[in-house]
Amino acid sequence: MKKLSVKAILSTLLMIVFLIIVFTGALLYFGRTGVVLGFSRHLLREAHFWAAVSMCALEAAHFFLHFRIYRVELRAFRRRRKG
């Protein structure tokens, strides 16, 4: 698979997981009762936790695939500060 395809899939997965984290977090925060929109608080907490774990793994892969770009940005930042 081409590197660009992997990056596109990774970015899409990151967006989906981010939305899951936001949705479950909002339901947990605003829904103070035992069941929110048909979901138990336990299920929401589990989904929120595992989405966060998934996001950490996806972010690590994202950083690995974009490390070269990150190095270039750091060099440019250092030059600008010295300059």
Q: Each residue's pLDDT tens digit in the chain (83 positions)?
A: 787 888 899 999 999 999 999 999 999 998 877 788 888 999 999 999 999 999 999 999 999 988 888 888 888 888 877 65
Confirm if 14 and 73 have CB atoms less than 8 A apart.
no
Q: Please tell me the predicted confidence (pLDDT) of residue 83.
A: 58
What is the extent of the structural domain holding 23? 3-82
pLDDT of residue 57: 96
Condensed to tens digits (0 to 9), the pLDDT of residues 48-60 reads: 999 999 999 999 9
- For the CA atoms of 23, 24, 29, 32, the dihedral, rounded to the nearest 10 degrees, stands at 120
Q: Which tokens hold the place of 63?
A: 């950083």
Q: Kind and range of the H or E element at 36?
A: strand 35-36
User: What is the number of structural domains in the chain?
Assistant: 1
**What amino acid occupies position 78?**
R
The rounded distance, in Å, linking the Cα atoms of 61 and 1 is 15
CA 22 to chain centre: 10
